[in-house]
Amino acid sequence: MTENTTIADPLTLPDTGEARLHLTGISKRFGAVRAIRHADMTVKAGSVHALVGENGAGKSTLIKIIAGAESADTGEISFESAPVRISSTLEAIHLGIATVYQEPQLFAELTVSENIFTGRELKTGGRIDWRAQNDRVVELLELIGLPGRYATAVVGTLSIAEQQQVSIAKALAGKAKVLILDEPSAILTDAEIDVLFTVVRRLTSTGVSVIYISHRLDELFRIADEVTVMRDGTTLGTFGIGELSVRRIVELMVGGIIADEKPVRQIADLPARLELSALGLTGHFHNVNLAVRPGEIVGLYGLVGSGVSEIAATVYGIEQADSGEIRLDGTSIRPKSPRHAQKLGIALLPANRKLEGMFSFQPISFNISAGHLPLLSKGGWVNRKRETEVARDMIRRLAVKTPSEKQNIGAMSGGNAQKVVLARQLVERPEVLVLAEPTQGVDVGAKEEIHRIITALADEGTAVLVVTSDLSEALRISDRLIVVRAGTTTVEFGPDATQVDVLAAAAGDLHDDAAPETTTKGEGS
Amino acid sequence: MTTTTPAPVATPVRDALAARVLRALLTQRTVLIVVLLVIVLAAFMVMDANGYLTGPYDGDTLASALINLVPLAMLALAQMLVIVSGRGGIDLSIGSTVSLTGMVFGFAYQNWDLPLIVAVLVAMIAGALCGAVNGFLIAYLGFPALIATLATYYGYASIALVINAQKPVTGDRIAALYGAAAQSVELPVIGANLPNIPVGVFYFLLPTVVVVYLIVARTTYGRRLFATGTNDVAGRFAGIDVRDTRFKAYLLAGVIAGLVAVVTTAQFASARPDAGTSGNGMALPAITIAVLGGVAITGGIGRVAGVVLAGLLVVWLNAGIPLAISGNTGPQFQLLALGVVLVFAALLNGLTTRRYGGTK
Amino acid sequence: MSTSTLPAPPSDAPPAKIRRRVLPSPVTGQEFVLIGVIVALWLLLALFTRGFFSELTLISLVGYMAPVATIGIGMTIIIITGGIDVSVAANVMVCSVIVAKTMVGYDTSVPVLVLLAVVVGALLGLVNGLLIAYGRVHAIIITFGTANLFQFLGLQIFGSNTVNGIPRDLKVFGIGSEGRVLGLPLAFLITIALAALAWVYLRHTAGGRHFYAVGGDAHAARLAGVRVQRRQMLAYVITGGLVGLAACFTIALGTSTVQQNIGSGVELAAIAAVVIGGTSIMGGRGSVLGTVLGALLVQTVSTGVTQLKWPSQLSDLFVGIAIVIAVGADLLRERARKNKGRSTR
């Protein structure tokens, strides 16, 4: 009849020495890519275990293996000292491993209580026992710091942060012993993060182990007990939080890799082409200041949720700033739509290729011409000869690997498709080109070529703003690099910046000598 | 759009012949329909030659069946435009738009004595207005197309019936249209060897086909339409006014419905208030033909040639069935054929989408 | 070091609709509005027509509403799952002709006839359900196709043009004196009982709630352990069964002859009732109470137009307008909610 929702019951008392989850020698390959070379990790009962590493270091694959969404090629997992095989998410859930993903997977039209119990309703006599469910949910909600009356609120009426807390409650409704939080703070405001941390502390005090993934390293000093650092698919070790500082973590993450020598580009000392001054968009960013000169490549680097993608969207007219000013060649502009931005000479390579860039199952030529119909037509008629010429020209210039311009873009590799979407921005050489995550999901070879194309374009005089969360890319390509943190531009780096400096700045360690903040650990419930 | 076979990278260099034929049949809807057309024609002709048919299934039969193709194929092209525009695009109201604009045409031509060409223009404008209401609700206010056109289906049908107290508009001028419309003409030069073709094909169907083809394949609007239907977010990022584009798809569908109203008025020799809604109405067969012709209900995919060929297939199949099945149950088997063909086409579309990433 | 000026979430302020109940309100805003509109229409009609509140008018109003409302109950479930069924009219025809022929040819009882109709209807619903749940094709296209197939089937059984000389057995579902219980048409009472049953099922059982989960987010539902395809299929089977019953009501409302066009247009009428009742065509939200009210509104309009001696076809125009207003109000609410969701970010 009823299922287990025993989170409120005291579990076995936290014995901080006990290993709840133990991974040894894990490896995982996707085709030719070795996502994880070798990973070892031990998560203690009742502790917060942070997992950090750069994008592509193998964190998410490791998490998926623990959550049962992927299975490891080699290695062993033991749970509460017994060896286990986790071959499905369901098995993980039965073991007591619950995962909260970044995007809440909830039913917007149903109540919080229903969302938590969908698929495992409590019933009496064939009917759902709303009262029993509700009582459990109220307990759960209060445990995680939401008012109990939210149990009957329709999820769609809650804020994103609250929805995420509901997801945590949902994860805890089973007999969760390990809770995986995948970048929970990325979409939360500072105040919401405080609430989240209180919840996490309260949980660990009842014996739950939390695996916490975050890019915001400063947070770790407030919440984590131990930190496992990954680099290139390998775990470098687990450290007590006391042994670490933001800078030390960054050094571990980045390793001894020395950035490749890059030629310093000479930028003519012209007045700025694009200028943002004190630009703000409520809820996303504020007081953003930057300038890009003709021929210059400026990198805008920020973690997910730092507001960096919204800055790009505002320059391109997808969002409208509600304070500050955008200036183009000294003239104040207010792009009110992408079309308007295009007319002003601003082009944008969208961050999400599939969702915002590609016209799947349409040919290359279509994908390129779609953004330039006025140029490639006369009196409403498409000049198909010109369209083909432009497409072929672009295919050649960007070295797109394809038999012909009639190739369907949906059937192309990520790198080639990205070049086609990039080509669309280059047909009419833009005054300002904003590139959002220009090489996401692109293989190394294509990445090089895309960087070459961007540099060539800047050499011709376009002002380029590269918005990226890929640090090595940001460093490689930009003449100047500006770090966005907590919704505002903070530090600016020249061509001599190191990865450690930039990452430390973005992750919250503005002063090299800053001591880790004192944390409020341990007191919960 | 272009006619090349998509050649996904994953394809092994040497497919077996059978696999290649299967791929062509599944990914090239026109190929499939041509094959089906040949099968249907051959089957009926063999049956005819062996005396199984109650009447001849020859060139004359096929040619005269084209009179049914005219409204069907035109409305299927109208559905194609709105379905391609994406986000669940569909026009359930197209049949009642035909009824309503037919009445308007009847008034304009018979009662107000307007010259024919002006009356036709009036019908087209009336159709454009009907389509504009749909387009406004759907593109600008965000109504689901199914609901908006369900509402206007009721609205237009009701107005069409009430506007002349349920009576058709008849009279000498409209009756004279019937004489003109029922004609068949001999094609110049090669016509002597071919059966005569109904004039409606030349006055209405071919111009519509050509215009729609030019719009979707050659104009910037066509590019915007397919871009919007394929991915309206990407369309917005590419600087396309997706609302305006979607709005115009419904508007154009309305214009075509206005033309069809003229055709049906001429064929019935009266402007009937239920011309497009009696029986199963005209919307259902039009949607069927569009889907059979390879138009993807998810938007962004559809070709004029596929739709017209699908129309031919349905019409020639329908022409043969009453000859093969004696008695008055012939029309019933037409329903069966239409239903089987639609379910089959839908399942096939689903299969090709999963297997080959879509049909063309 | 600058601090964030991002607004703190109003974590203590309650969201808009939090009630001290274990479930959201049993009656939604749209339903209250509908009740208000219906009451207002009835009062206006009483004022401007003679005999609107006469027994005959009211009995026929609720009696004629029964078939549409009955089918609407099933259609609500289908639309909640994110589907649609435009083949119900053809299904009504098949059930009607089978029942009518059985009545003419055999001496049967009412329960047997009802059972027969329900089973036939459910079987045809099963065909839809299988194709939609397992063929993974959009419901509207599949049901357009099966509508043709069912019509073919029905017409084949009709054989000649009409079924004549139908006995009066089914008149217990009619609006005549045989069909009244406690002064109200039996068909209406059955409809209300079924609606109540469906209301409890959809609101208070796990199976019922799972329809909402499927329509809200099929992927998330699958992750939560809901058998999505089985839910989808069941929705069409339930609707098919209700269509069978509605066919019996329809025969009872007619004469001793069943025409080939029996049921035509009922699919759109049922969908209209559902969307006027506030069920979202996108799936995941809706209630049968709204649908019954929607059907009542549609029938009120139709009766009202007749009573006012306006051209009867005008009622369709009002139905169309009602759909636009009902769905438009819903869109506005939805937009307001989204904006609110954004601003709390």
Per-residue pLDDT of B90-108, as tens digits, reads: 999 999 999 999 999 999 9
- Is the predicted pLDDT of residue C7 greater than 50, yes or no? no
* Cα of A232 to nearest chain B Cα, Å: 29
Angle, helices C266-276/C55-80, rounded to nearest 10 degrees: 80
From chain B, pick out residues whose CB is under 8 angstroms from the CB of A402: none
Confidence (pLDDT) at B175: 87
From chain C, pick out residues whose CB is under 8 angstroms from the CB of A121: 206, 209
Interchain CB contact of B238 with A (< 8 Å): yes
In this prediction, residue C53 has a pLDDT band, given cuts at 50, 70 and 90, of: confident
* Cα of C343 to nearest chain A Cα, Å: 7
Confidence (pLDDT) at A289: 92
Nearest CA in chain B to C283: B144
Select the highest-mean-pLDDT range: A477-481, B130-134, C160-164, C170-174. B130-134
Q: How many contacts (CB atoms, under 8 Å) link A and B?
A: 106
In this prediction, residue C340 has a pLDDT band, given cuts at 50, 70 and 90, of: low
From chain A, pick out residues whose CB is under 8 angstroms from the CB of B7: 403, 407, 411
- Is the predicted pLDDT of residue C308 greater than 90, yes or no? no
In this prediction, residue B13 has a pLDDT band, given cuts at 50, 70 and 90, of: very low
Task: Indicate the residue of B144, B287, B347 with minimum beta-carbon distance to C135.
Answer: B347
Q: Check CB contact under 8 Å for B238 and A411.
A: no
Give residue-wise pLDDT tens across range C221-267: 887 778 899 999 999 999 999 999 999 999 998 888 888 888 888 98
Q: Check CB contact under 8 Å for C313 and B336.
A: no
Nearest CA in chain A to C279: A109
Least confident of A398-402, C160-164, C289-293: C160-164
Q: Which of residues B238 and C182 earns the better pLDDT score?
A: B238
Q: Check CB contact under 8 Å for C156 and B329.
A: yes
Give residue-wise pLDDT tens across range C259-271: 888 888 898 899 9
Task: Indicate the residue of B148, B153, B342 with minimum beta-carbon distance to C148.
Answer: B342
**Token pair recorded at residue C331:** 């869109």
Give residue-wise pLDDT tens across range B14-66: 557 777 777 777 777 888 889 889 999 999 989 888 888 888 888 888 888 89
Q: Check CB contact under 8 Å for C145 and B339.
A: yes
User: Which residues of chain A carry a pLDDT beneath 70?
Assistant: 1-17, 32, 186-187, 256-263, 304, 509-525
From chain B, pick out residues whose CB is under 8 angstroms from the CB of C149: 335-336, 339-340, 343
* Cα of C71 to nearest chain A Cα, Å: 24
Alpha-carbon Rg for chain A, nearest whole angstrom, is: 25
* Cα of A383 to nearest chain B Cα, Å: 8
Nearest alpha-carbon partner for B37 in B292, B356, B351: B292
From chain A, pick out residues whose CB is under 8 angstroms from the CB of C200: 127
Task: Indicate the residue of C135, C144, C156 with minimum beta-carbon distance to B288.
Answer: C144
- Is the predicted pLDDT of residue B229 greater than 90, yes or no? yes
Q: Interface pTM (ipTM) of the complex?
A: 0.84
Q: Check CB contact under 8 Å for B230 and A412.
A: no
**Token pair recorded at residue A34:** 């070795």
* Cα of B181 to nearest chain C Cα, Å: 30
Angle, helices B283-292/C139-158, rounded to nearest 10 degrees: 120
Mutate to test the interface with A, among B1, B2, B211, B226 (most CBs of A within 10 A): B2
Confidence (pLDDT) at B360: 52
Angstrom distance (rounded) from CA A227 to CA B190: 85
In this prediction, residue B7 has a pLDDT band, given cuts at 50, 70 and 90, of: very low
What Å distances lie between residue A91 and A67, A97, C7, C96, CA to CA? Answer: 9, 9, 40, 50
Confidence (pLDDT) at C21: 58
Q: Check CB contact under 8 Å for B155 and C316.
A: yes
From chain C, pick out residues whose CB is under 8 angstroms from the CB of B280: 147, 151
Interchain CB contact of B166 with C (< 8 Å): yes
| Residues of chain C above pLDDT 70, percent | 90
- Is the predicted pLDDT of residue C13 greater than 50, yes or no? no
Task: Indicate the residue of C150, C272, C315 with minimum beta-carbon distance to B150.
Answer: C272
* Cα of B8 to nearest chain C Cα, Å: 24
Angstrom distance (rounded) from CA B322 to CA B331: 7
If contacts are CB pairs under 8 Å, which of residues 273-302 in chain B contact chain C?
A: 280, 284, 287-288, 291, 297-298
Interchain CB contact of B343 with C (< 8 Å): yes
Confidence (pLDDT) at A10: 35
Nearest CA in chain A to B234: A356
Interchain CB contact of B244 with A (< 8 Å): no
Beta bridge partners of residue A381, listed in sequence order:
A378, B219
Task: Indicate the residue of A111, A149, A190 with minimum beta-carbon distance to C6.
Answer: A190
Interchain CB contact of B150 with C (< 8 Å): yes
Confidence (pLDDT) at C16: 39
* Cα of A343 to nearest chain B Cα, Å: 9
Which partners does chain B have (≥3 C-beta pairs < 8 Å)?
A, C
Residue by residue, what is the 3-state secondary structure of chain B?
Answer: CCCCCCCCCCCCCCCCHHHHHHHHHHHCHHHHHHHHHHHHHHHHHHHHHCCCCCCCCCHHHHHHHHHHHHHHHHHHHHHHHHHHCCCCCCCCCHHHHHHHHHHHHHHHHHHCCCCHHHHHHHHHHHHHHHHHHHHHHHHHCCCCHHHHHHHHHHHHHHHHHHCCCCCCECCHHHHHHHHHHHCEECCCCCHHHCCCEEHHHHHHHHHHHHHHHHHHHHEHHHHHHHHHHHCHHHHHHCCCCHHHHHHHHHHHHHHHHHHHHHHHHHHHCCECCCCCCCCCCCHHHHHHHHHHCCCCCCCCCCCHHHHHHHHHHHHHHHHHHHHHCCHHHHHHHHHHHHHHHHHHHHHHHHHHHHHHCCCC
Residue by residue, what is the 3-state secondary structure of A193-213?
Answer: HHHHHHHHHHHHHCCCEEEEE
Give residue-wise pLDDT tens across range B239-250: 999 999 999 999
Q: Which of residues B296 and B26 earns the better pLDDT score?
A: B296
From chain B, pick out residues whose CB is under 8 angstroms from the CB of A355: 231, 233-234
Cβ B121 vs Cβ B259: under 8 Å: no
Nearest CA in chain C to A491: C1
* Cα of C109 to nearest chain B Cα, Å: 31
* Cα of C188 to nearest chain B Cα, Å: 25
Mean pLDDT of chain C: 86
| Residues of chain B above pLDDT 70, percent | 90
Confidence (pLDDT) at A261: 59
Number of H helices, E strands in chain C: 12, 2
Q: Check CB contact under 8 Å for A107 and C5.
A: no
* Cα of A127 to nearest chain C Cα, Å: 5
Interchain CB contact of B39 with C (< 8 Å): no
